Structures are given as structure tokens and as C-alpha cells.
Amino acid sequence: MSTLSVHSLTRRVDLFTLRLFLTVVEEGKIRRAAVRENIAPSAATKRIQDLEDAAGVQLFERAPSGVVPSAAGEVLARHLRLLFENLEDMRRELGQFSEGVRGYIGVAATGAILIQYLARELGEFSRSFPLVDLDLLQDVNANVVRAVSSGSADLAVYVASADIDESALDVIPYRTNRLVALVPRGHPLAEFPDVAFADLIREPFIGIPPSTTIMASLHQAARDLGKELQPRFTVDTVEAARSLVEAGMGVTIQPDCMFPAESCPQVAVLQLAEPWAVRPIHVGTRKGRTMTAATRALIRQLTEQPEESSGN
């Protein structure tokens, strides 16, 4: 026989014959495979012979006890299993479209991302796709990514940082978020448009829980300077931290889009002159996993949103 001809294979072989080939591999006997596929044994034998002729290679080793796939047959079987899995995914997703997009999506995200962007966008998605059930997991950044890589969530929205391993994810850029410094009005630093982190941590610092991505980044930045960040106060939320800055109790750092400048006249906002202050936010799904129509629709909605300026 000649070498495998993909051209002949795709022009001369139908899907039923390919399914029959897989059934023969599973059963080990052409007669039993014929019964499963509701075809005469002689017709099944003829189809397998025609498939081998089209492929240009011997696909089975024949013996009195039955048949076993050859090395080439094993390769063909592996690819056909993937082919039929993809066809089943296609059938299921087309069925979803015939009745309107429906399904279930498990979404994992940090609390800050929920507040800044995601709550509003999930609301818009639910109104556009009322047949899709959303389940929401809020957790710290590392656990959000872990939820998708372990299969307990379908989609993660998280801050991409040096301590996050994205190797198990297919990643799509979502937004960019910038950290800014908040200092009380009248403070010497408030006279400048930006500030270096080294100058900021000399001041009484107001932190939020150390498990957050922001605080992990700040502690690492302090270590890179040969220092330790030791907050004067640690509070649960950025809103509480901002209130203490407003009261003149210290300085803090938080995402620019979470700061309502018009409602806090006692607080000055300074650009943080550090490369790590610009933080990409990603959407991640499990690497290599076929997404449902519902998940693809949500990703389209998230990634087609225009970037918003903080106005600061």
C-alpha cells in the first residue's frame, strides 16, 4: 500500500464509515461492530476495506480471533475520537442557538473586579441572555485562577501578576487597571502630580487584607527596595482605607477606578510612578477546553466593552 492520502480520505470516506471503523476498534470483531451499527457484516467488511484503500495503509492486523488496529490504525482512531467529540460539541451548541443561547457559566472573580467592572457587565449579560444561568465565585486572585484550572469554574477574571501561573489557561486581555496613591489634602506630597513608592511608604500607611493582590504587590515592591511594608492600620475594604486618608490618618494605594474623586475633596490623588502600578486584567478559561456558546457569548460581551477612563 502507498502512504496515507488525506485527499483521498476526505473525498472518498463518509462519517458513517469512520464511525464504523471506531466501533470495530472497540469490539475487536467486524461482525460484532456490524451488529452495533445495524449493517450487514459483509457490507461492514467492504467499508473497512474501502477505508484502507482510501487511506493507503493497512489499518487492522487480522487474526482468527478478530482484528486489532495496526500502528496506523491507532493513529487514525485517536484522531477520529477527537473528531467525533468535536462534532458532538458542535451539535450541542447549534442546538443551543436553535432555541436561543442557554446553559450554565461558573464565573470566578475577585471582589475588586466585581465592584469595578464585572457586576454591571454580568447584569447586562443576564438581560441579553435570560436563558443562561450564572454562578459567581468571589475569592482572592490566586484562588480565582485555581478554580478554572481545576474545573470548578468555567471562566476567571483576575489581575495578571508575577505570582499568578497562567500556564493552565487560555488567556484573553480584558482591561487595564492603574494603582494610584491617596494622600490627605494639605500633605506635602499632595503638591506633586505623582509619587514614588519609596517616598510613600515613609508615611503612615493604611493597608487592606494581606491576601489581596494589591497588598501582595506592595509587600513585594517594598522588599525590592530592601524594606518591609508595615501598615499603621489594616482595614477590610478600600472604602474604609479611603475614609482614614480623608480623616488625615495616613496614605494608601488603590485602583484609580474605585476612587470617586468628586465625593472626596479632602483627598488628593497622585499617579504612582512605578511600572507595576499598571495592572492588566485577564479573562481565562481552561486551556484546550471547548467553550459552550454561552461562555463564548459572555467573553464577547466582556472583551468588546470599551476601556473606561477613571477621569483622574
**For position 135, which CATH number holds?**
3.40.190.10
Domain membership of residue 233 (yes or no) is yes
pLDDT value at position 88?
78
Domain carrying residue 125: 103-175+279-303
Q: State the pLDDT at residue 46.
A: 92
The answer to whether 294 touches 103, Cβ cutoff 8 Å, is yes
Say whether both 154 and 192 belong to one domain.
no
Residue 188 resides in a domain = yes
162 with 294, same domain: the answer is yes
pLDDT of residue 264: 75
Task: Answer yes or no: do 121 and 148 share one domain.
Answer: yes
Residue partners of 93: CB distance under 8 A and separation at least 6: 292, 293
State how many domains the chain has.
3
Say whether both 247 and 299 belong to one domain: no
pLDDT for the residue 173 = 93
285 and 243 part of one domain = no
> What was the pLDDT predicted at 97?
55
pLDDT at position 53, please? 87
- What CATH number corresponds to the domain at position 84? 1.10.10.10
Q: What does the pLDDT read at residue 222?
A: 95
Residue 310 lies in a domain: no
Domain boundary among 98, 133, 150: 98
Q: Which three cell numbers stand for residue 291?
A: 467553550
DSSP characters for 121-152? HHHHHHHH-TTEEEEEEE--HHHHHHHHHTTS
Q: Is the pLDDT of residue 169 over 60?
A: yes
| Same domain assignment for residues 148 and 296 | yes
pLDDT at 96: 58
Q: What is the pTM of this model?
A: 0.59
**Taking 50 as the threshold, does the pLDDT of residue 311 lie above it?**
no
Task: Find out whether 157 and 174 touch, Cβ atoms under 8 Å.
Answer: yes
Is the residue at 230 inside a domain?
yes
Is residue 309 assigned to a domain? no
SS3 177: strand
Q: Evaluate whether residue 312 is within a structural domain.
A: no
Taking only the tens place, the pLDDT of each residue in 197-223 is 999 999 999 999 988 888 988 999 999
Q: What pLDDT is stored for residue 274 in this prediction?
A: 92
Residues 6+ positions from 239 with CB-CB distance below 8 Å: none
Give yes or no: residues 194 and 253 share one domain: yes
pLDDT of 245 above 90 = yes
Would you give the DSSP letter of residue 251? B
Last residue of a domain, one of 83, 98, 113: 98
| Whether 227 and 296 share a structural domain | no
- What does the pLDDT look like over 54-64, one tens digit per residue? 888 899 998 88
pLDDT at 307 over 90: no
In this structure, is residue 308 part of a structural domain?
Answer: no
pLDDT of residue 167 exceeding 80: yes
Q: What is the pLDDT of residue 11?
A: 73
